[in-house]
Chain A
């Protein structure tokens, strides 16, 4: 096994006394494609918020690529430590074209001076088009994000993450609301990125998990429930009880 690139150790988050995350541990290895599953409200998104700096933990440490990034700001984590994130439910610049969405995300030009004297060279245009091609949006490049279909919006945000050129890619429910065909296409996209990136995918769709997964992490009530290959997880009685059998939305964390 290669070296760990991300280690979240003993994480706790309280939202007004409600423990959204309690003693959660996660280790992801360099180059890995990790899937995180868990019922609604298990704390998957909150864990991603901790890693990307959106939420500060009450306790615990996040070590990324040898640096302690606990409590750092989202802009620093994305710029300096290079973690890119696609949010649950597309989070885009609506009244801007697909092309502009990707261009704004393009890594390396985020200071004021660099944005003012940014030159749209042939290489940069080619790079943006390449990403649009990769996400199946080349023909939609002049279309406003708000006019794209739901699936295309998800892909556009994945394209933005690719444009950030991150070391770690976090995808929070990339297939939610997609047709079976779109889901399969998304799976192929993720596998294409997987070669040279470390990826964490939060998912609900079990077929999809089966398609892309290597190691699966199962969360429940803010903590780690199980970890292993899909085959192992599938047979784990605890997991079956809280997740696979109950379906979505049945589990409500007690508060």
Chain B
């Protein structure tokens, strides 16, 4: 009995939160309107995106200000694919095209589009990683470059009138996955939830592996790691690629969820918001990314309904206060409290000459 209790105690507090959150997400659509289900679908997509940045920022300490570039790349590839499948879009007809240019024909296959939507963000991250991480300049340099990239990306999309319909973006997209027919709302919600769960399990596996320990060691003390036979740059590039592909996946899921994509929606703002979600929930434990994304987005949805004028200001202040007073985030704070309690108990036990297992 006592032993069983101790065993349960061994799970960190945030894993219980994970279980509770996933249970709540399973039950959620049964009690709310379709409109709320749609809103939660968007949040589920953002959770995948938030988990991707948590690997990079929370665990490895690499703060990217331009993660929406990778999200947007994945999203736009799939959006273009869905658009082309419907036939030659009018913005291309207007530019004088009479049929789909040969270079774009691979996108007529949704499967190829899907693979590209993961591979291209991965490739971008890989190239960036090789260049940025091997340069001598460290830390804030990465944030600055990625921020500049987010801005360039948004401007670039705005300018792609013929291919991507410029600032109006690509709209009227179906709620379908991999070329399937339109999926009913409920079914789609549970597919998304399934993907979120898979991504979560993957991230959990990754961070619990020795690879994950090395990532955290990079965050804690990168120079020290080089004296233990590691080449941190390779690990940083690797996690950037993994994170980039997950961001691409989130972009892919965004398309059937929101069914329109514009440069503004995947611009600098999204990159920054992403950091806010994870900061509010807490970095480097996966749960914080999930909880923070749900919390900030739903606070936004509900506030904007109640006070249509000042909601963004109110939300901004709430976020600011949270980050200021709870810098480790909501979940991060809970984990710290649990550790402090266990540590105090451990110390007392040590004084009594007991051995804790």
Q: Are A104 and B228 in contact, with the CB atoms below 8 A?
A: yes
Q: Which of B216, B224, B229, B339 has the largest number of chain A CB atoms within 10 A? A: B229
Q: Which of A92, A93, A114, A142 contacts B216 (CB 8 A)?
A: A93
A78 to B226, CA, bound (A): 8
Q: Are B221 and A79 in contact, with the CB atoms below 8 A?
A: no
A147 to B170, CA, bound (A): 53
Q: Are A75 and B229 in contact, with the CB atoms below 8 A?
A: yes
Q: How far is the CB of B74 from chain A (nearest CB, A)?
A: 23
Contact code string A104-136 (vs B, CB < 8 Å = 1, else 0): 110101101011111000000000000000000
Contacts of A79 in B (CB 8 A): 229-230
Q: Which of A103, A116, A144, A147 has the largest number of chain B CB atoms within 10 A? A: A116
Which of B231-239, B270-278, B316-324 contacts its partner? B231-239
Contacts of A110 in B (CB 8 A): 228-231
- Whether A75 contacts B231 in the complex (CB less than 8 A), given A92-B224, A93-B220, comes out as yes
A107 to B226, CA, bound (A): 13
Q: Are B224 and A91 in contact, with the CB atoms below 8 A?
A: yes
Q: How far is the CB of A145 from chain B (nearest CB, A)?
A: 8
Q: How far is the CB of A79 from chain B (nearest CB, A)?
A: 3
Q: How far is the CB of B357 from chain A (nearest CB, A)?
A: 9
Q: Are B210 and A109 in contact, with the CB atoms below 8 A?
A: yes
Q: Are B230 and A96 in contact, with the CB atoms below 8 A?
A: no
A52 to B226, CA, bound (A): 10
Contacts of B201 in A (CB 8 A): none
A36 to B238, CA, bound (A): 41
Q: Are B217 and A118 in contact, with the CB atoms below 8 A?
A: no
Q: How far is the CB of B335 from chain A (nearest CB, A)?
A: 11
Q: Which of B209, B221, B226, B343 contacts A115 (CB 8 A)?
A: B209
Contacts of B350 in A (CB 8 A): 139
Q: Which of B213, B221, B224, B238 contacts A112 (CB 8 A)?
A: B238
Q: Are A94 and B227 in contact, with the CB atoms below 8 A?
A: no
A117 to B230, CA, bound (A): 16
A75 to B221, CA, bound (A): 14
- Whether A143 contacts B210 in the complex (CB less than 8 A), given A75-B231, A94-B221, comes out as no
For window 224-261 of B, CB contacts with A under 8 Å fall at 224-231, 234-235, 238
Contacts of B225 in A (CB 8 A): 104
Q: Are A139 and B227 in contact, with the CB atoms below 8 A?
A: no
Q: How far is the CB of A197 from chain B (nearest CB, A)?
A: 16
Q: How far is the CB of B256 from chain A (nearest CB, A)?
A: 31
Q: How far is the CB of A41 from chain B (nearest CB, A)?
A: 22
- Say whether A211 faces chain B, with CB atoms less than 8 Å apart: no
A78 to B227, CA, bound (A): 6
Contacts of B220 in A (CB 8 A): 92-96
Q: Are B221 and A92 in contact, with the CB atoms below 8 A?
A: yes
Q: Are A78 and B214 in contact, with the CB atoms below 8 A?
A: no
- Say whether A10 faces chain B, with CB atoms less than 8 Å apart: no
A94 to B61, CA, bound (A): 14
A160 to B209, CA, bound (A): 19
A135 to B216, CA, bound (A): 23
Q: Which of B206, B210, B221, B342 contacts A91 (CB 8 A)?
A: B221
Contacts of A100 in B (CB 8 A): 213, 216
Q: List 6 A-B contacts (CB under 8 A).
A: A78-B228, A91-B224, A100-B213, A115-B213, A118-B211, A147-B343
Q: How far is the CB of B294 from chain A (nearest CB, A)?
A: 25
Beyond the given pairs A112-B211, A115-B210, 9 more chain A to chain B contacts, judged by CB atoms under 8 angstroms and listed by A's residue number, are A92-B224, A93-B220, A95-B216, A104-B214, A110-B230, A114-B210, A118-B211, A139-B346, A139-B350
Q: Are A104 and B217 in contact, with the CB atoms below 8 A?
A: yes
A52 to B224, CA, bound (A): 12
Q: Which of B227, B230, B346, B356 contacts A52 (CB 8 A)?
A: B227
- Say whether A187 faces chain B, with CB atoms less than 8 Å apart: no
Q: How far is the CB of B245 from chain A (nearest CB, A)?
A: 15
For window 170-229 of B, CB contacts with A under 8 Å fall at 206, 209-211, 213-214, 216-217, 220-221, 224-229
Q: Which of B210, B221, B227 contacts A93 (CB 8 A)?
A: B221
Q: Are A116 and B210 in contact, with the CB atoms below 8 A?
A: yes
- Say whether B27 faces chain A, with CB atoms less than 8 Å apart: no
Q: How far is the CB of A250 from chain B (nearest CB, A)?
A: 31
Q: A77 — nearest CB in chain B belongs to which residue?
A: B227
- Say whether B1 faces chain A, with CB atoms less than 8 Å apart: no
- Say whether A73 faces chain B, with CB atoms less than 8 Å apart: yes
- Say whether B137 faces chain A, with CB atoms less than 8 Å apart: no
Contact code string A131-157 (vs B, CB < 8 Å = 1, else 0): 000000001001110010000000000
- Say whether B102 faces chain A, with CB atoms less than 8 Å apart: no
Q: How far is the CB of B191 from chain A (nearest CB, A)?
A: 28
Q: B354 — nearest CB in chain A belongs to which residue?
A: A139
A95 to B235, CA, bound (A): 19
Q: Which of B206, B224, B350 has the largest number of chain A CB atoms within 10 A? A: B224
Q: Which of A93, A109, A116, A144 contacts B339 (CB 8 A)?
A: A144
